[in-house]
Amino acid sequence: MLGRVAVFPPLPGDARRVLEDIAVVVEGSGGRERLLEAVRGARVLIAGFVKVDREVLEASGGSLELVVTRSSGYDHIDVEAAEDLGICVANQPEAIAFSVAEHALGMAIVQAKRVLEGHYLVAGGEWSGFPTHLRGFLLRGATVGIVGLGRIGSLLAFYSRMMGASRILYWSRRRKPELELLLLLEPASLERLFSESRVVFIALPLTRDTEGLIKLDYLRLLPEGAVLVNVGRGRVVEDGAIETLLEERKDVRVALDVYWEEPLPRDSRLLDYAGQALLSPHFAGYSGLSSRMTSVLAARQARFYLEKGEVWNPVTRSTCREAKDIPGLWDWVPR
């Protein structure tokens, strides 16, 4: 055996089997005390959406070398503390990206076609004649803007191109020339992207650089009738900016899976804009298959680390050795 792996919460069976022949797997669920107990003596922690702060990292007694999150986002992990303690942090975004991108595209279509408002019209018994006031627009021929061109943003660019978008603008922390050529994308400033895009997708992770990056002033640039979709993180948008936008611009529609505060408080101003705002509970990445795939791949990355001392999705590059030869990931994916 190559060490102890703490898993919190437990893995599905096919993911657990990836590790059981090489590691002592200790699974736990419940509250914080159970998490601290599970981590003690572990070389690796495979974490779901649980808060992994310095106390948790230190609970191993100095044995912890790697934290793998079963998600694309990693803002629930104290990355700075991990780096300070010499612990590698890796994420697992591959499978989740497909689910999030499909969810984002579906929400955009629902809002562009005014489906949600049509539902309320019918369900409320107010349908009388053709609802000309709910005429929407097509993604075909529209300009689409994508903020963040990682895995999710890249898939959204591909899906938008297949839907017939006339132009696709993108803003990213670094240029993506290969995708510009492949999908005919145009790099753009945030000012240009928001002012010219009929549909805007936000797919940014939350980091020190992206928190509050999308200001209210950018949102106010949206063209008449635009749709704004955020499946990145709520805190990449300035606090209160979306609520103010909805109050000022009755023509704009939004679709959100992420929020500044989660779960969304019952007194949130967003709840005052039913129809204009389509809200889902931060579950875009959690189709049944994508969850299983992500768990299997997270377990595979933990196994690869135990065997090779490397990971292929390093978050803390100063404390991780990045794999140069990545194993065949899809051989480990449940069909």
- Could you report the per-residue pLDDT of 159-184, keeping only the tens digit for each? 999 999 999 999 999 999 999 999 99
Q: Residue 73 to residues 91, 141, 204: CA-CA distances in angstroms? A: 7, 32, 9
pLDDT digits (tens, 9 = 90+) for 251-283: 999 999 999 999 999 999 999 998 899 999 999
Q: Residue 30 to residues 3, 33, 44, 288: CA-CA distances in angstroms? A: 23, 8, 19, 22
Q: Is the dihedral of CA 325, 52, 69, 211 positive or negative?
A: negative
Pairing of strands 44-47, 66-69: parallel
Contact 103, 284 (CB under 8 A): yes
How far apart CA 6 and CA 298 sit, in angstroms, is: 12
Per-domain boundaries in the chain: 4-94+288-332, 96-279
In percent, the amount of the chain with pLDDT more than 90 equals 87
Which helix (H) or strand (E) is 105 found in, with range?
A: helix 94-112
What region does 225 belong to: left with phi over 0, alpha with psi -120 to 50, or beta? left
Residue 237, beta-bridge partner list: 214
3-state secondary structure of 232: coil
Nearest to 210 by CA among 284, 147, 254: 147
Find out if CATH 3.40.50.720 is the number for domain 4-94+288-332. Answer: yes
107's tokens: 């929400």
pLDDT recorded at residue 138: 96
DSSP 286: -
pLDDT recorded at residue 333: 54
Known catalytic residues are 233, 262, 282
How far apart CA 27 and CA 36 sit, in angstroms, is: 12
Pairing of strands 277-279, 227-230: unpaired
Asked whether the predicted pLDDT for residue 331 surpasses 80, the reply is no
Contacts of residue 110, Cβ cutoff 8 Å, sequence gap at least 6: 116, 255, 278
Q: Cα torsion for 275, 281, 282, 284, to the nearest 10°? A: -70
Global pTM value: 0.88
Q: What is the architecture of the domain spanning 96-279?
A: 3-Layer(aba) Sandwich (3.40)
Q: Average pLDDT of the chain?
A: 94
Common-topology check for domains 4-94+288-332 and 96-279: yes
162's tokens: 């297949």
